[in-house]
Structure 1
């Protein structure tokens, strides 16, 4: 962005030089700049018919403008929002309940900034009224990007239904960009307040801060960007754009039955992408959480955002009391070899890297019992066309159980690209597939985020980057043994590290977590979650002291 400004300045200086030379030698006349003429605008109210003269109640209107000599068109609405269209066609969603007449100003722009405008009136019916529970969830809270969650920010194809399908931001990976210190407040009076830095308002309010956005599209904000201000360009991202707190308006509509958050003007959330400033509410089922998606102004990507209204750092560790005390199964690896009557090896690279674009080839040689520990080692070595080897073992068909407490005492591998996991899959996996079978990730870790432990559930509607999970920070995961636990009951699933709770899921009768599951241990390399692999990586191991399963006393 700074380079663009520099190029513009150089061009301006050269232009002044040319004009100066021209003036010295002869008179120079510019051609006359004329405004666009014959501006006309037609409107199509979606669903309009003889029986429904004001539309189908969705509030959607398609505008078509044309003018001689026009280069682009702008639509300005009564609530302060606006939209542009180079071909003159623009679709807008009105949200005021009832049948209302709206006045829209249409501007046709020609060369040199010349313009012609005309007002257009359209009468539209809106019957949608947001659910009371959605309004209650939104208003009066400070929302922020859920930086600690995998996939809290990312992108995918326009119209895609898989969250963060093409790129999923790892936890806290956008720190220092101007995103995480922003706060978003949906007020009861319909105003939307964007605080661009929530860390500088103590003891007095400071409206200044920075924001994060897409190159070129962020020019719509009218903010300056220079290295002197701390603003930088990183590929297609513009980081730490100086900006101030502002207020716009917000409404909820439901085009095509899809709950949608509409912001006026240049109001935005998380990462400025231009467009129509509307955000589809993809999921609001999790308490204090929203998953949103929006198409950028280039029509290039759908951008995904996970918001939370939980107070940052407010969650205290819960006092944990188990309801399962009877040891029913244990692997302590003291026999000197892996018990293959219990553990099955899964070899190869699966389909598309086990569905995650993983880079390792699983063998039977990378898992061994050493000094009373199970050791699974990922190595940088060639095998069957892959550059890394590792092992993956399961208890499928040999040991499966429903409900209980699983404890694993383990030391984790290290190195960028490593991805160890202690996890479980539903025993009906072969019949119903994933994620319908359900998945319980007791412990996941990635070497690219060394001190973060993940506990996650995958199931229909909440899988991949949209999974239901939590994280906690743990020091020394690769140098010391820690206790990784899940307590699983018909009522809840609780994740713990060293007996401290960091995530709880409320189980229900219609979830997949009410059947037998089997255990899986593996170390993957790279892939969608493991990320970039350190070119200097040689080998590292997941070391497990023991795994125990407890159930209730009969």
Structure 2
């Protein structure tokens, strides 16, 4: 221990006796002369170069929350925020001893939104022309604005091509002559060109554009052709991913897509090589959304090209050459009423009068029965404040209000037909929904003063219904603006007796509600006892791919809706439209000798289905061949060997790559069949044969 102590003391003495000039101690040096440069490389990319004396590293803070550490001082940064932005970049030069200096530099980034895939679909190397898809169901639709009550989003599923047609009449068909093209200019910008042939279709309310005094709602000699610049951007607001691409187009200088509603901004709902589906908002009524469906495939509207089939081997058929019931080895029946969601009027049976084979053809016949109109009674419409305070709105004991019916409903004040139970008053209102009335039929009466829903948020109504479960809707509107409205739906709970139903309007928007609208048994049309037939090959013959050919003659009566179609065989497991639906032929008696075909699948169903139509001369008096050619790559619809519409590109993402089964039926009324002829007795679809080739 003594030796160790001696060594330590001696070393300390040596250190204390040393002069600083005798040893080399490193000096801590601060970097100096820091210079920074930034070069804009375009599309949000900047190249930075920094240099400083005595610097061992360079730290970059790019001003957008990201950083980088470099030893050379050279780095590159890509900014991604869309728009005009200025970023303060801080560059720090440091030494290994911890000394450092900093400089800042501002960079201005102008970054326009772009989407290469969308531009490709729109332009196709500038060779693509878009037309309004006149044969498509829902090619021009109207619905509530995208952010409705409780954030609901509504597509225009209620507007079919026949119900909201702008291409079939002389005063509006200029809309379907418009040609729309997109291209990319020399600066890389997207350019839109409209050729409207010198005529513009104006929605009513936009008369100021043409400087006239009339309220225009037809084609007008006003040339709005020309080029506009298109800016792509992300859609703002509450936009569910499943219902939009998330991209919108804004046209310069008031540009628009053929139909003038005052808007230059169009949200892209879906886009493909063949179809473009957009939504825009009416500048005169912010509550309304307009939907346009365009096609770049002129074959959708007809053509003379013959089908060159790849399927020639007959693998299954029914020639209907044995009289009696359809061959039970090939066909089963769907039985029941209502059409499973389409609001149809018929009840399907397996009776021979509705479905039979006779004289070498299958006959599916819709027959009118002896049904009755639907009658409901109502009384004592009463306002309630929720604390026991009430105010009678109408009890029908004084002067009767003036009722206005619509869709096939008549309403009048009568003596109470059942003065028992909850309602023994003398007079009540009677609502009669006639045979074949629209499913949305109802009536209304006006009030002398608006309803105060703040003071009285609840409304009660005594009703008498012939059945339980009838959907009763109480709707309040502004007489001067029907778009200002609120409604509540309640179901009846007793049959053939009076009950009191309560309609809760708590929390609805404040408005001027001075009209009462009532719908009884909403969604149902009195069928008049109509029966019909629907047969199917489910679990008997199911197949994937092939050419299906059906030779048929179609019914012509108003309200008939015959269909030849196929449904995914996994329908009972996954439901519709996930299973997929192939409509080989549909026809409506209210638009004779025009047939349509459609594809329904997720994202493209109901009013958003892929639909095409074509005229077929004598479709109701002569037999014609209706064909679908279904391959792994495409689905083509054919009439009499001519490829006429809907050349659909099939791929692995669609449901059209698994087994389907065939269905044939005649529906009545409903969402497509429309109003049933008041004189309807019966009508028949005749099918000569069904053949499947692979």
TM-score by length of 1: 0.68
Aligned-pair CA distance for 1:536? 3.6
Aligned-pair CA distance for 1:484? 1.2
Is 1:410 aligned with 2:562? Answer: no
Aligned-pair CA distance for 1:188? 3.1
Residue in 2 aligned with 1:474?
616
Aligned-pair CA distance for 1:225? 5.5
Equivalents in 2 of 1:535, 1:143: separation in Å? 41
On the 8 A contact 2:268/2:277 being kept in 1, the answer is yes
On the 8 A contact 1:452/1:474 being kept in 2, the answer is yes
On the 8 A contact 1:443/1:454 being kept in 2, the answer is yes
Aligned-pair CA distance for 1:407? 1.6
Residues 162 and 446 of structure 1: CA distance in aligned 2, closer, same or farther (over 3 Å): farther
Equivalents in 2 of 1:293, 1:479: separation in Å? 40
Is 1:168 aligned with 2:189? Answer: no
- Judge which range, 171-180 or 473-482, deviates more: 171-180
> Alignment partner of 2:672: what SS?
helix
Residue in 2 aligned with 1:224?
212
Alignment of 1:372-383 (within 5 A): 372-383=360-371
Residue in 1 aligned with 2:347?
361
Residue in 2 aligned with 1:156?
143
Unaligned segments of structure 2, at least 5 residues: 1-62, 66-78, 88-107, 147-151, 237-244, 373-525
Equivalents in 1 of 2:213, 2:200: separation in Å? 10
Alignment of 1:231-270 (within 5 A): 238-247=217-226, 248-256=228-236, 258-270=246-258
Aligned-pair CA distance for 1:451? 2.5
Equivalents in 2 of 1:184, 1:507: separation in Å? 26
Is 1:288 aligned with 2:274? Answer: yes
- Judge which range, 289-298 or 175-184, deviates more: 175-184
Residues 57 and 354 of structure 1: CA distance in aligned 2, closer, same or farther (over 3 Å): farther
Residue in 1 aligned with 2:599?
457
> Alignment partner of 2:177: what SS?
coil
Alignment of 1:34-45 (within 5 A): none
On the 8 A contact 2:337/2:346 being kept in 1, the answer is yes
Equivalents in 2 of 1:174, 1:131: separation in Å? 38
Residue in 1 aligned with 2:194?
194
Residue in 1 aligned with 2:176?
180
Equivalents in 2 of 1:126, 1:527: separation in Å? 51
Equivalents in 2 of 1:394, 1:255: separation in Å? 44
Pairwise CA RMSD of aligned residues? 3.1
Aligned-pair CA distance for 1:546? 1.4
Residue in 1 aligned with 2:308?
320
Q: For residues 530-549 of structure 1, what are the alpha-carbon distances to aligned partners after superposition, in whole Å with 9 as ceiling and x for unaligned?
A: 23333343322111111122
Unaligned segments of structure 1, at least 5 residues: 1-49, 60-96, 102-122, 198-207, 227-231
Residue in 2 aligned with 1:147?
134
Is 1:510 aligned with 2:502? Answer: no
Equivalents in 2 of 1:316, 1:530: separation in Å? 29
Q: For residues 131-163 of structure 1, what are the alpha-carbon distances to aligned partners after superposition, in whole Å with 9 as ceiling and x for unaligned?
A: 155256235644321112222111223226664
Aligned-pair CA distance for 1:378? 2.1
> Alignment partner of 1:221: what SS?
helix
- Judge which range, 371-380 or 181-190, deviates more: 181-190
Alignment of 1:514-525 (within 5 A): 514-525=657-668
Aligned-pair CA distance for 1:318? 3.1
Q: For residues 344-371 of structure 1, what are the alpha-carbon distances to aligned partners after superposition, in whole Å with 9 as ceiling and x for unaligned?
A: 2222224xx4222223222333222222
Residues 186 and 540 of structure 1: CA distance in aligned 2, closer, same or farther (over 3 Å): same
On the 8 A contact 2:345/2:527 being kept in 1, the answer is yes
Give the paired residue count. 417
Residue in 2 aligned with 1:129?
114
Residues 383 and 348 of structure 1: CA distance in aligned 2, closer, same or farther (over 3 Å): farther
TM-score by length of 2: 0.55
Residues 311 and 343 of structure 1: CA distance in aligned 2, closer, same or farther (over 3 Å): closer
- Judge which range, 169-178 or 509-518, deviates more: 169-178
> Alignment partner of 2:176: what SS?
coil
